[in-house]
Chain A
Amino acid sequence: MSKSMIVAKTDFKNALKLKMVKYGLVMATIFGPIMSFIIFLGVLPIVPPSEAQLLVGLMGPIITAMLGMFAIIPTTMIAANALVGEREMNTLEPLLCTPLTDRELLWGKTMAGAFPSLIILASSTAITTVGIAIGSVALGYPIIIFPDLAGFFLLATATPLMIFAVVAVMIIISGRVTRVYEAYQATTGIIMVFMIPMILPMIGLETGGMSELVWFSNFITLTIAALIFVIGWAIAFRLFNRDKLVSMV
């Protein structure tokens, strides 16, 4: 096993020992699908079967953005523990005394924060897709495939980018805060970017052209995520080196 993977696994296991993180991960995995079923399948019975697909267009952006938001939350929690937690617990110095290179350590910390979120993103999307398909058929409607193409685009591009961007932002923040909860609070604001694809398409409800607005808001979200990712990692790579880390010990 690579040393990065050893770091990642240990960081993840250590994060899971905290109730907030453990239950946070469970909630992040199930809350998205549950909310989706409530929103989607709750409304479906009052919609005629012929207009079921319309419902996908209407509710889709909300559910998609929600799945994205819930998937990013674990990264903020795990990365905060993996980066700021080491500092808070005084465990950074012995770790830096091991033969780990800066790159191995960085990759380990990144994997610890990002991989669980990517798994949660994939699994909660899969549960939602299967649940809505089964639910729609069970309610006597034609099978509904969710997410649609626009939703899948957002979940497959902006969300993973944002997950990795959160790790970069956490690296930047870790040099400035001393407590895990401060780091956690500081990065949760980034998740609000996913309010854009949730709310912006609603403008199209009155003016028409909601579909175009969905794609437009998805592109805006992707652009912001990409900007945070690029700028964040450019700064994080500069900051994540032995000298900077030692100064935090």
Chain B
Amino acid sequence: MDDVVISHLTKNFGELIAVNDMVLDVPAGSIFGLLGPNGAGKSTTTRILSTLLRPTSGTAVVAGFDIHEDPVKIREITGVLPEEANHTVYEGMTAYENLEYFAKLYGVVEEAIEPAIQELLEFMELWDRKDDLAGELSTGNRQRLALCRALLHKPTVLLLDEPTAALDPVAAKRVRELILSLSEKYNQTFFINSHNLAEVQRMCNKIAIIDEGRILLAGNTEELRSQLRGKQKYRLLIRGNISSAESVVVNLDFVKSHESEVDTIILEIENPMDNNVKLLRTLLDAGVNVVELSEDEATLEDLYLEVVKGGSQQ
């Protein structure tokens, strides 16, 4: 069963088409990452799913509820972390008061409010700061507080817009662990907007790449990465002058592309099983000091750059 079903969703802001005929399914219990550059339509999509914005046309069903017919019901069963969430806490209220206020608005029963707040604040290592004004917390702690707010009522679907933005690496890792453990423990569905490719690669089991409001590619993360293996690249580590190696590489007809990074050349090689040996031999004959030739692991970044670049060119 799918927790988020988007059907031909379009949102226009005047002449600007922010979301363009989007069709997308997110299975229940999955961690879904919506990737795209700034202004691609990620936040607009999240805002439509959280019923903040009405689409120009099309619809979406969140946990079985239609955004047009049951907006209040959707808000009850979704937890939302807005963009730049660290700025969206009540700075004049304590961390505890912030959460207590939203727990009441989300209809959490009175007796369950305190344990729920304590559990989340302890997990986020904020319990000892519960009586501090939110305005006195660091940016990262405010972000964590906003994330607690989104999780308070144990929502079925979580809509997170750049959840680890503004967090230090340790806090970001903790948030990722939290998302993974919540997904495992409660089978919650996560819909995450991000342009942090490494983060999405670590967390998400399904992704879609969006640009100019259009879904350019969607699928299972591992499947998409495996597609890239057909376009395997190689890293050539050079000691000494890299330009001499470049001048050799550029003249080899089986080298489809190359890119230099300080002491490394990243190569795309046609028929590598045969040509890698030729490459090494040619380089060694030319007096290039080769340290290593290794496979370059296919990353989501490669996929993303290829898809977004291709999409922009269309």
Contacts and interface: CB of A to CB of B under 8 A. Distances in A.
Contacts of A185: none
Nearest to B77: A99
Given A10-B101, A97-B80, A98-B106, A243 B54 contact: yes
Interface string B81-104: 010110111111100000001101
A89 B104 contact: no
Interface centre among A10, A14, A17 (most CB of B within 10 A): A10
B269 to A, nearest CB: 49
B286 interface: no
B89 A97 contact: no
Nearest to A92: B88
B112 interface: no
B72 A101 contact: yes
Contacts of A137: none
B93 A14 contact: yes
Contacts of B8: none
Nearest to B106: A98
Contact of B146 (A10, A17, A94, A246): A94
B75 A97 contact: yes
Contacts of B107: 99
B188 interface: no
B106 A99 contact: yes
A97 B50 contact: yes
Interface string A179-219: 00000000000000000000000000000000000000000
B136 to A, nearest CB: 13
B88 A90 contact: yes
Nearest to A246: B52
A85 to B, nearest CB: 9
A107 to B, nearest CB: 14
Interface in A89-131: 89-91, 93-101
A18 B93 CA distance: 12
B14 to A, nearest CB: 12
B88 A99 contact: no
B76 interface: yes
Nearest to B81: A94
A176 interface: no
B203 to A, nearest CB: 22
A7 B102 CA distance: 10
Contacts of B221: none
Contacts of A242: 51-52
Nearest to A94: B88
A91 B53 contact: no
Nearest to B159: A97
A14 B92 contact: yes
Contact of A3 (B51, B89, B93, B105): B105
A244 B73 CA distance: 21
A94 B52 contact: no
B130 interface: no
Given A1-B104, A10-B101, A96 B52 contact: yes
Contacts of B90: 14, 89, 91
B194 to A, nearest CB: 18
A249 B106 CA distance: 20
B50 A6 contact: no
A100 B85 CA distance: 19
Contacts of B50: 97
Contacts of A17: 92
B92 A94 contact: no
Nearest to B91: A89
A242 B72 CA distance: 12
Interface centre among B84, B104, B146 (most CB of A within 10 A): B104
A18 to B, nearest CB: 8
A93 B72 contact: no
Contacts of A91: 88-90
Contacts of B233: none
B47 interface: yes
Interface string B187-216: 000000000000000000000000000000
Interface of A: 1, 3, 6-7, 10, 14, 17-18, 89-91, 93-101, 242-243, 246, 249
Given A99-B76, A243-B53, 16 more contacts: A3-B104, A10-B101, A17-B92, A18-B92, A91-B88, A93-B82, A93-B88, A94-B102, A97-B50, A97-B52, A97-B82, A98-B75, A98-B102, A98-B105, A99-B105, A100-B75
Interface of B: 47, 50-54, 72-73, 75-76, 78, 80, 82, 84-85, 87-93, 101-102, 104-107, 146, 149
In the A-B complex, the 10 residue pairs with the closest CB atoms: A97-B80, A98-B105, A99-B75, A99-B76, A90-B87, A17-B92, A93-B82, A6-B104, A246-B52, A90-B88
26 contacts: A3-B104, A10-B93, A10-B101, A17-B92, A90-B84, A90-B87, A90-B88, A91-B88, A91-B90, A93-B52, A94-B85, A94-B88, A96-B52, A97-B52, A97-B78, A98-B75, A98-B106, A99-B73, A99-B75, A99-B76, A99-B106, A99-B107, A242-B51, A243-B54, A246-B53, A249-B52
